[in-house]
Structure 1
Amino acid sequence: MVRGKSTSGSGLPENYEGIVNLITAQYPNLSSGFQKIARFVTQNPNVVALESISVIALRCDTHASSLVRFAQEFGYSGFKELQAVFQTRLATAAPGFRERVKALDGELSRHARSGNLGYLRDLVVRDIAALQDLLERVPEDTLTGAARLITGADTIYIAGQLRSEPIALLLRYLLTMLHRRVVLLDPAGGLAQEMAETMTRGDVLVAIAFRHYAQEVVAISERAAASGTPVIAITDSQLSPIAKDAKALFTVPEDEYSFARTLAAPMCLVQCLAVASAAILQRGRDEMPRIPTVTEKDRSRGAAGPRRRRAEGT
């Protein structure tokens, strides 16, 4: 992220990028209450720009006075002045997650709103919104850089626990099918951190963690940084503990911490990383990059067997 400009004489950021950089730099020194506010404002910039202080406080589960003190912590006279910085982003920003949900909700209003089908409808709406947000959020150069790290690594280590585990498993499968050497730092047996000690500068770690961050994944990410192993981080915010040492950072914000947290966006992201890696590995082919399935490989091996036997005269 590019560091923003400062206002003349005040030294305070005058744009969104600048204030997020400032919050990120000061985040480790903030109180737990201010850290909660910091996470909210960086993940919900449209809400901060458009809503009243009382609504923002309610959404953030804090008091309006705390938002004022938070703004003053960074040198602003009050929350209104901080909010004005977030409003500068709206001219070029894509709709936020909630705006997307509201629009999609209207489009799909003909579907059932109650019962189990209603649950499905709500989940689909949220997943579509999350995927649209992902498309707007991920830079091309970050995708390219991450794919180069993956294809250039001797060994790809993957760490993802709790609800991030399915994402880690999918990425391991896809990269294994591309004939990459992959090590899943699985907590089974309690040896994940010991296995991580074998990481070198020639490897890469893909660390996946969302709130509340799995401590073992955080520890593995810190160990990778200490050993000089590049880290690709997939997380919910640049304030995440695995973000600070990332060579390539992908943020997939979560609007709410509820039972229905979607995995659609991070799952799509790791599929894209695999396809981008395949494009590098399969460069020169006429067709689009693709990842073979186990079934296809089994058929290929089965067809190769008779050919070898015929060639050997058996």
Structure 2
Amino acid sequence: MNVAEPPKNYEELIRLVHDRFEGMSKSYQAISVYLTQNPNDVAVLSVSAIAERCGIHASSFVRFAQSLGYEGFKELQGLFQKRLSTAAPGFEARMRALEAELGTREDRSELGFLRDLVVRDIASLQDLLADVSAEKIVEAVDLLQKSETVYLIGQLRSAPVVDLLRYVLTMLGKRCVLLDPSGGLATYMARTITQRDLLFAVSFRFYATEVVNVVEQVAAAKVPIIAISDSTLSPLAKSASVLFAVPEHEYTFSRSLAAPMCLAQALTVALASRLQQSPNSPRIPTVTSPQGRQQPAS
């Protein structure tokens, strides 16, 4: 897996990692995912600290760098340090700034847990705003608008994101179908998707096998796919027409859905503005209460 000439900049390095990812060992794949998801941390942390966060021995990082043509990890790390000089602050830096602003939590009370989660969610939302390009949002909304039917798939903790999408798309009058895992029929339902339709897939580590299989099956039929995942090295990445990589950061208890839920809602708001020809104030149509009164949809 050695290369004659190592990449000379961060962009070349990431391209090489993507090209070689499928042929890597499991440990090298885990290293690749961490490097691509946390470039700012890679620039400032020691190899021992990075290795501890990944749960992989530091010597594996050295061998990984050598497999890409570098003398050692320090040389590879230099590309990340050069990138950092012009990059926006990363998740950890944003979180530390928010903690300084809101005050460091000293207790382990129930309210303290809420504060921790809010700080992390704000940082992840700031990262989302900094990382998602306007071009990708436009491309995704174009696909949503022109599709005859939007098929949705997301399982395990990704399920709330597609449930939100199904609700809003239905209220906007956009035909959509949830590929529900119940009954084991999702794969068979996916066979009815045509090139006039769209698959919207959401999946994070550890990727649900059925979701990955459906995405690959639908991509083979040349159906357009929008995907929200956690990495450009996700198994959804190679099949997606538009990929939104929303990196996940380690949480003591669980990983938050704040950023992917916000992204999903932003896409539907943008779609609503087109369907309603109302760029300034798109709204979800009203629903009827049991008493027959019209109420705004919540």
> TM-score band, normalised by the shorter chain?
over 0.9
State yes or no: 1:192 paired with 2:186: yes
In the superposition, relative to structure 1, how do residues 82 and 198 fare at CA in structure 2: closer, same or farther (>3 Å)? same
Mapping 1:228-239, distance limit 5 Å: 228-239=222-233
Mapping 1:9-158, distance limit 5 Å: 11-109=5-103, 113-158=107-152
Shift of 1:11: 4.0
Tell whether the 8 Å contact from 1:113 to 1:121 is kept in structure 2 after alignment.
Answer: no
Shift of 1:290: 2.1
Tell whether the 8 Å contact from 2:66 to 2:72 is kept in structure 1 after alignment.
Answer: yes
SS in 2 for 1:89: helix
* Gaps in structure 2 of 5+ consecutive residues: none
Root-mean-square deviation (Å): 2.0
Letter in 2 for 1:243: A
Bigger drift between 107-116 and 27-36 goes to 107-116
Tell whether the 8 Å contact from 2:273 to 2:279 is kept in structure 1 after alignment.
Answer: no
SS in 2 for 1:88: helix
Letter in 2 for 1:291: I
Q: CA–CA distance in 2 between the matches of 1:190 and 1:64? A: 42
Q: CA–CA distance in 2 between the matches of 1:47 and 1:161? A: 30
In the superposition, relative to structure 1, how do residues 301 and 151 fare at CA in structure 2: closer, same or farther (>3 Å)? same
Residue aligning to 1:242: 236
Query: What fraction of aligned residue pairs are identical, expressed as a percent?
Result: 54
Q: CA–CA distance in 1 between the matches of 2:5 and 2:195? A: 39
Letter in 2 for 1:85: L
Letter in 2 for 1:106: A
Q: CA–CA distance in 2 between the matches of 1:43 and 1:70? A: 17
Shift of 1:224: 1.0
1:175 to 150, 153, 169: 169
In the superposition, relative to structure 1, how do residues 200 and 45 fare at CA in structure 2: closer, same or farther (>3 Å)? same
Bigger drift between 205-214 and 108-117 goes to 108-117
Q: CA–CA distance in 2 between the matches of 1:251 and 1:294? A: 34
* Gaps in structure 1 of 5+ consecutive residues: 1-9, 303-314
Tell whether the 8 Å contact from 1:199 to 1:224 is kept in structure 2 after alignment.
Answer: yes
Letter in 2 for 1:65: S
Letter in 1 for 2:92: R
SS in 1 for 2:74: helix
Which consecutive aligned stretches of 4+ in structure 1 deviate over 3 angstroms post-superposition? 110-113, 298-302
SS in 2 for 1:244: helix
Which structure has the greater CA radius of gyration? Answer: 1
SS in 1 for 2:95: helix
Bigger drift between 253-262 and 128-137 goes to 253-262
SS in 1 for 2:152: strand
Residue aligning to 1:292: 285
Shift of 1:126: 0.6
Residue aligning to 1:4: none
Output one character per residue of 1:98-153: Cα deviation in whole Å (capped at 9) or x when no partner.
11111111111166632111111111111111100100110000000000101100
State yes or no: 1:166 paired with 2:143: no
SS in 1 for 2:200: strand
SS in 1 for 2:165: helix
Shift of 1:300: 8.1
Q: CA–CA distance in 1 between the matches of 2:117 and 2:220? A: 40
Q: CA–CA distance in 2 between the matches of 1:295 and 1:83? A: 58
Letter in 2 for 1:161: Q
Shift of 1:92: 2.1
Shift of 1:183: 0.4
* TM-score normalized by the length of structure 1: 0.88
